[in-house]
Amino acid sequence: MKLAEHYGHKPTDELPLLFQRILSNSILDWFRRQKARNALFSPFSDFQSSSDDEEFDVLETLSDSLQLPQVDNPESSIQSRQTLIAIEAELLSLPDRQREAFLMRYWEDMNVAETAVAMGCSEGSVKTHCSRAVHSLSNALRSKGIML
């Protein structure tokens, strides 16, 4: 669809390369979003009770699930917990608009147009806010010695 919408005016000999680039970028974007989502959060469906006849209490299940899995190396367990805490702190330290754009795009999996409507700004502003948020997070985490 992107090829037809945005590049219909291009010569036909350029279309295969454009399609390959669009497909490659779309796949990379999807994997980046999944990596960010899986690294920080778990969907509520992961916490549901296995039997349907029991009453489900998300708070009880959530408190049980917050225990880090047992690993052979306690140092790596502590390091993982500290990394997650550092990422969360850096997310909270972002300016409001950058944090809002970043979370909508990469956590809520909204596209640029949907995010722009939700934030009440232009698509260019969404891209700018996201780019600045990613660079700020990257620099802040790198300065703390965290390489993701």
Residue 47 lies in a domain: no
Residue 132 lies in a domain: yes
Residues 22 and 85 in one domain: no
With CA atoms as reference, report the closest residue to 109 among 59, 53, 49, 43. Answer: 43
Residues 34 and 84 in one domain: no
DSSP 86-118: HHHHHHHHS-HHHHHHHIIIIIS---HHHHHHH
The per-residue pLDDT for range 26-66, each reduced to its tens digit, is 888 888 877 777 666 555 454 444 555 555 554 555 455 44
Residues 37 and 84 in one domain: no
Range(s) of the domain holding residue 106: 77-148
Residue 68 lies in a domain: no
Tally of domains within the chain: 2
Residue 17 lies in a domain: yes
Tokens of 22: 């669009």
Residue 129 lies in a domain: yes
Predicted model pTM:
0.49
> Is the pLDDT reported for residue 25 higher than 50?
yes
Residue 58 lies in a domain: no
Length of the chain equals: 148
Cα 101 to Cα 22, 35, 83, 110, 127, distances in angstroms: 22, 17, 22, 10, 8
- Phi and psi torsions of 44, nearest 5°: -60, -25
Q: What is the mean pLDDT of the chain?
A: 77
The per-residue pLDDT for range 2-15, each reduced to its tens digit, is 777 888 888 888 88
Residues 25 and 92 in one domain: no
> What is the CATH classification number for the domain harbouring 147?
1.10.10.10
Residues 95 and 139 in one domain: yes
Residues 23 and 82 in one domain: no
Residues 27 and 94 in one domain: no
